[in-house]
Structure 1
């Protein structure tokens, strides 16, 4: 008998933990999901683990069925019962403790068998240290948990399709640094009326133990309140330091400026109208989440969007220049969420 704890507002839920001789890589026979305990049915053989919810191939999150379960507290799913939580990832002799954490906002890429799907939001990464079950059982345990809540399977298998397609995770963390063919993973998603909850269990080929890694992301937009810097304060910064940093709101992973940033644009226009000789370079900057090439392109687009917004209010384009610098010039430590937020900025530089 296995026991699974599920975050369903105190309701008991019968959970299947399928045992088998599939890829031998992981944890125990129990999984923690919030604080309610339920007793599972006996584990069937691998041949009897067909799921009642179909696997979604070529996955489109917006076409997944919408469920409305009563969830418990974040992160909704925990490591398997009887297994020790891992506080650090040891890859090639280097402990990467900062990767195992609960952060308010991060970016994670999930593989659906054909492509990588980036998801931004609250992220929890942890690991289960133990011995006893195959990784196949780990996959089927979390698959069952997600399916019982109304979710779907996105991908189960190795990293070979990833390698065959020439794809690599931008943020590897506990994943293999160079070879992903032997990695094993299970990716599941629960779509609710207000969000998406993604669950990934993963076993990197470099790890010869039966440990596994668990990542949960609840998709959400970054909420940043723009501090309005008056034109006079911008002028002072430009006169004394030659540049001033602004924190504008953009659509997530896009270049479109959100409406709540328009007052800041108006102050830039006010500044330039008060000093007709002033010329500015608008620099876009990002944090280090994601691929450098993507961040460069994103910063280029956001700088150009700010310039276009200023020109649209009557400032000649000849007085402005847009330039993206990606993640190349951080002003704070990208290891913290606060540092990342400070690095995601637009700077006005006096020419």
Structure 2
């Protein structure tokens, strides 16, 4: 999601492709909207990828080969933030070093030309009422959202921020295996926040 002095060059390169795409098939947005879409995109060696992960091939004189690369999002980032009991502020995390994982992810995203879209979900353990923990989990997610924004992550790229209390279930590892977090009651492992990069299918759902 890098934004630098190359922005104007990107737009200049994007304009011919946008016009070619418009000629190739009807679209429901006007030219200005199309330019806005490609403002968030960037050329690669093989194709253009827009802000919702779609691969756009070149037309006529663009000389771009067919889109062959498939966008694969990062595995969900599960931060085992050991919030103090019934707390959600940054200074109430017993292991703040866990936030370095998020710092690394933000830097990685900022070094890419694509604008990565994410969701943030807060969790609690099962101690106290569901309504109380629902609000607590939402506050934990909101804390991480603000943390990301303070470090330069665009608010517009955070598609959803929510809490699920203890009803969020167990976590899933990068290989798809379910991680058993243990008991629901008074379990620090369940006081966590998960940041998930959205893949093409999920982005399409958020765009509808």
Q: TM-score, normalised by structure 1?
A: 0.29
Higher-helix-fraction structure: 2
- The higher radius of gyration belongs to 1
Would you tell me which structure has more strand in proportion to its own residues? 1
TM-score by length of 2: 0.47
